[in-house]
Amino acid sequence: MLESTTATLDAAVEYAEVEHLSMQQALNRALDDVLTADPKTLVFGEDCGRLGGVFRITDGLQAKHGDARVFDTPLAESGILGMSVGLAMAGFHPIPEVQFDGFAYPAINQIVCQIARMNYRSRGKLPMPVTLRVPSFGGIRAPEHHGESLEALFAHVPGLKVVSPSDAHDAYHLLKYAASRPDPVIFMEPKSRYWQKGPVDMRDGGTLSGARIVRPGRHLTLVAWGAMVARCLQVAELAAEDGIDVEVLDLRWLKPIDAEALARSVGKTRRAVVVHEAPLTSGLGAEVAQLITQQCFDTLKAPVERVTGFDVPYPSGDLEDEYIPNIDRILLGIQRVLEYRRG
């Protein structure tokens, strides 16, 4: 399990106890806090400086903290992540941004061969406190390469931690938490949730090191992360109209996965459906399903179901509605699990 967050970042700036923020605003506030608390923190990427980023996550940060700490980079993802390696080796805390998830592919060599391995290669002498922000997943009707679901790729790499918030409250606290880690963290931000507002308790992030139950239930567990959490909550409300009490588990950390939380939830409901946007084959849902089966085999009433994207390249915006798991597909997955009969 990950350690609890440091008190330094929590005490960086005084705020009202609860604020109503969008995820975009919450992430911006978290970066401001980290920059204020730690002079070794640097925020950079394509258009991250003067413009404030395509999604305005870094808006106003350069004006406040200076262009030596918040700055633009050339359009070269391999250079952005290669520079992050050198900065981390020199004692800085880089928070680079890859402008869109599909743009991460040119930097895979730096992420996999350098950032993920440097601490191991140096026997702990060169930690990599790099927090890579990746606007992720679909839902905004963007062109090709502007919507991807890369969590299984990153989670497969030893040395990386992977996390995805589902709402503004978690976005604020998880980003600060990730930035306080001595290890590299891939921070996958659901683009389609950037403009969704919600209450953010600025003083208390709760437990940040594992999964969380966002809706308790008795009959079945829906496991999701990122944007799919909100969709699963919609599904749970609809299922309740038919007397089906669905529990929704927000996995949050995609590596390490909170196997204990999975076991507790599915051990209670005895049925599970995993929902994600990535293709079915070798998606992270397969790992989640195996963990559930391994720990809850004796109590499961049905095989773990997966409702996912299809085994095709992530489509451009005009086909997103056909690709991303929708309410009807998730309800159908629930029905299959509830109607399963052995033999």
Tens of pLDDT, residue by residue over 293-341, are 999 999 999 999 999 999 999 898 889 999 999 999 999 999 999 999 8
End-to-end CA distance of the chain: 39
Q: Does the pLDDT of residue 96 top 70, yes or no? A: yes
Residue ending a domain, among 173, 201, 229, is 201
Asked whether residue 5 is domain-assigned, the answer is no
Asked whether residue 35 is domain-assigned, the answer is yes
- What's the structural domain count of the chain? 2
Between CA 49 and CA 57 the distance in angstroms is 10
Domain hosting residue 289, numbered range: 212-337
184 lies in the same domain as 134: yes
Identify the pLDDT of residue 11. 45
Work out the percent of the chain whose per-residue pLDDT is above 90.
88
CA dihedral 241, 224, 131, 259 (to 10 degrees): 120
pLDDT tens sequence across 36-78: 999 999 999 999 999 999 999 999 999 999 999 999 999 999 9
Q: Give the pairing type, strands 272-279 and 220-224.
A: parallel
Between CA 343 and CA 335 the distance in angstroms is 18
182 lies in the same domain as 266: no
Asked whether residue 163 is domain-assigned, the answer is yes
Work out the percent of the chain whose per-residue pLDDT is above 70.
95
151 lies in the same domain as 231: no
Read off the amino acid at residue 340: Y
Residue ending a domain, among 172, 201, 230, is 201
Query: Which residues is 272 bridged to in the sheet?
Result: 221
Identify the pLDDT of residue 15. 67
Q: Does the pLDDT of residue 195 top 50, yes or no? A: yes
Band of pLDDT at residue 13, cut at 50, 70 and 90: low
Read off the amino acid at residue 184: P
Band of pLDDT at residue 14, cut at 50, 70 and 90: low
Identify the pLDDT of residue 341. 87
163 lies in the same domain as 278: no
157 lies in the same domain as 115: yes
Asked whether residue 153 is domain-assigned, the answer is yes
48 lies in the same domain as 189: yes
196 lies in the same domain as 260: no
Which entry of 20, 65, 145, 146 is annotated as an active-site residue?
Answer: 146
| SS3 assignment for the chain | CCCCCCHHHHCCCCCCCEEEEEHHHHHHHHHHHHHHHCCCEEEEECCCCCCCCCCCCCCCHHHHHCCCCEEECCCCHHHHHHHHHHHHHCCCEEEEECCCHHHHHHHHHHHHHHHCCHHHHCCCCCCCCCEEEEEECCCCCCCCCCCCCCHHHHHCCCCCEEECCCCHHHHHHHHHHHHCCCCCEEEEEEHHHCCCEEEEECCCCCCCCCCEEEECCCCEEEEECCCHHHHHHHHHHHHHCCCCCEEEEECCEEECCCHHHHHHHHHHHCCEEEEEEEECCCCHHHHHHHHHHHHHCCCCCCCCEEEEECCCCCCCHHHHHHHCCCHHHHHHHHHHHHCCCCC
Integer CA distances (angstroms), 108 to 78, 171, 206, 253, in order:
8, 24, 33, 21
Asked whether residue 185 is domain-assigned, the answer is yes
Band of pLDDT at residue 114, cut at 50, 70 and 90: very high
169 lies in the same domain as 268: no
Averaged pLDDT, 231-252: 97
79 lies in the same domain as 222: no
195 lies in the same domain as 60: yes
161 lies in the same domain as 222: no
Identify the pLDDT of residue 7. 46
pTM reported for the whole predicted model: 0.93
Residue ending a domain, among 201, 230, 257, is 201
| Average pLDDT over all residues of the chain | 94
Q: Does the pLDDT of residue 8 top 60, yes or no? A: no
**In CATH, what number is assigned to the domain containing residue 70?**
3.40.50.970
Query: Which residues is 307 bridged to in the sheet?
Result: 275
Asked whether residue 207 is domain-assigned, the answer is no
pLDDT tens sequence across 204-225: 888 898 999 999 999 999 999 9
140 lies in the same domain as 224: no
- Output b/e per residue, 46-56; b: 16+ Cβ within 10 A: bbbbeebbbbe
Identify the pLDDT of residue 12. 46
Higher pLDDT, 146 or 334: 334
Note if 20 is an active site residue.
no
Identify the pLDDT of residue 232. 98
Identify the pLDDT of residue 204. 83
Asked whether residue 71 is domain-assigned, the answer is yes
